[in-house]
């Protein structure tokens, strides 16, 4: 990057004085480091408790019986739980400077496994969003496509697809024995290099294209429900749990889908514009770096990026609260394992009247859009 420049011989490169990114952030933008260390830690603690609970409830026989959406949501909870542990290992390396993956073989294997749940989570959401679209907008195909057996097949296919996409990381990453770091195999990453092209294609497809597809299907579902509701102008009382076993709550699924959209697209956008905020001259003293406009612009962007990523990281931990707020059957099952008094107010607040969409497109009490 600096081949055509001449630098004073008595000034070392900033990356030799400060490790990347922990050392550099600690010296020049500690706020970014604090977000990595403490904000993400909060999400880790929450998610490592809530995701196993969610998976346990969704896999409960009463919930998943004839309820294909429960399969998707259970796998989503397991996927998020898996990712939080992998991310914790990465945070030890990045934010705390504890060597965890900087070893031969572990570097490549870790980055391969690390990307699988990241790819899988949005694909799972897309899977049950498409299923919900079929149930609401194409009700005559519901019995064929919205089944537990087909949901299992779809999940297995998505796991295979995610693993295939993540396998590229084995080539992209490499342990550098000279500098004792886990880094890109390509020593010179250019815009047309495999590493850069693959990162762009995969990031924009999974974290940009998939959420947009989810948004489109959600809009179609909402429009169809609005049309049916307007045509019938009928509202039915809240259903019992026995009438809710055939499918998941449309409100729950829409909430999860929109949560994914609002927490994934901003991160993808930040990734896209990151190339506009390059680092400054590395051969400067620390005082010169603090006064340099380009470095300051880069550090300001990194703080902003860490704030956005810190907030959006919540979707790996907080789906449980979405389920509790929008899924009466999920909440009821959860409360059977925990003290009722703690959640009595939450349970009472769920009472209401909702319009239910049937498999044939009419409003009825036998519904494909039931509550869980």
Q: Which CATH architecture has domain 14-354?
A: Up-down Bundle (1.20)
Task: Report helix, strand or coil for 237.
Answer: strand
Which residues are CB-contacts of 285 (< 8 A; sequence separation ≥ 6)? 11
What tens-digit pLDDT sequence spans the chain (372 residues)? 433 433 344 456 888 888 888 888 999 999 999 999 999 999 999 999 999 999 999 998 888 887 888 999 999 999 999 999 999 999 998 889 888 888 888 999 999 999 999 999 999 999 999 999 998 888 888 888 889 999 999 999 999 999 999 999 999 999 888 777 888 887 767 777 888 889 899 989 999 999 999 999 999 999 988 888 777 654 444 444 433 443 346 888 899 999 999 999 999 999 889 888 888 888 888 899 999 999 999 999 999 999 999 999 999 999 999 999 988 888 888 888 765 545 565 566 555 444 434 444 443 433 333 334
Question: Strand pairing partners for 175?
Answer: 182
**Can you tell me the distance from the alpha carbon of 22 to that of 36, in angstroms, rounded to the nearest whole number?**
9
Selection from 264, 313, 343 nearest residue 38 by Cα: 313
Strand 181-184, strand 353-354: pairing: unpaired
**Can you tell me the distance from the alpha carbon of 21 to that of 34, in angstroms, rounded to the nearest whole number?**
12
Question: Strand pairing partners for 354?
Answer: 236
112 and 170 in contact (C-beta within 8 Å)?
Answer: yes
Q: Does the model's pTM come out above 0.85?
A: no
Task: Report helix, strand or coil for 203.
Answer: helix
The CB density around residue 229, as the number of other CB atoms within 10 Å, is 16
Q: First CA to last CA across the chain, in angstroms?
A: 56
Instruction: Indicate the domain borders of the chain.
Output: 14-354
H-run or E-run covering 175: strand 173-176
């Amino acid at each position: 990057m600096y081949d055509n420049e001449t630098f004073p011989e008595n000034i070392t490169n900033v990356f030799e004085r400060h490790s990347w990114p922990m050392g550099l952030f600690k010296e020049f933008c500690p706020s970014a480091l604090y977000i990595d260390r403490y904000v993400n830690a909060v999400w880790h603690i929450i998610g490592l408790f809530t995701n196993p609970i969610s998976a346990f409830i969704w896999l409960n026989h009463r919930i998943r019986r004839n309820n294909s959406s429960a399969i998707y949501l259970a796998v989503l909870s397991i996927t998020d739980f898996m990712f939080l542990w992998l991310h914790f290992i990465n945070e030890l390396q990045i934010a705390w400077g504890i060597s965890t993956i900087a070893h031969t073989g572990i570097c490549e294997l870790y980055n391969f496994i690390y990307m699988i749940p990241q790819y899988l989570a949005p694909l799972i959401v897309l899977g049950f969003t498409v299923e919900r679209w079929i149930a609401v907008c194409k009700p005559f195909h519901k019995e064929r496509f919205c089944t537990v057996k087909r949901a299992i097949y779809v999940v297995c296919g998505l796991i295979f697809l995610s693993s295939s996409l993540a396998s590229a990381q084995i080539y992209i990453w490499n342990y550098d024995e000279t500098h004792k770091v886990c880094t890109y195999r390509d020593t010179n990453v250019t815009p047309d290099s495999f590493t850069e092209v693959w990162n762009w294609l995969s990031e924009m497809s999974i974290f940009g294209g998939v959420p947009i597809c989810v948004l489109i299907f959600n809009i179609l579902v909402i429009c169809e429900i609005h049309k049916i509701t307007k045509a019938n102008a009928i509202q039915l009382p809240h259903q019992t749990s026995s009438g809710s076993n055939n499918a998941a709550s449309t409100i729950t699924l829409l909430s999860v889908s929109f949560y994914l959209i609002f927490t994934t697209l901003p991160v993808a956008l930040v990734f896209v514009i990151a190339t506009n905020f390059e680092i400054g001259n590395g051969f400067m003293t620390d005082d010169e770096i603090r006064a340099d406009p380009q470095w300051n612009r880069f550090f300001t962007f990194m703080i902003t990026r860490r704030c956005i990523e810190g907030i959006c990281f919540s979707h790996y931990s907080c789906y449980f609260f979405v389920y509790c707020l929008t899924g009466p059957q999920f909440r009821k099952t959860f409360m059977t394992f925990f003290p009722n008094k703690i959640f009595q107010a939450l349970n009472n607040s769920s009472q209401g009247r909702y319009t239910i969409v049937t498999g044939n497109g009419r409003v009825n009490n036998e519904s494909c859009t039931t509550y869980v």
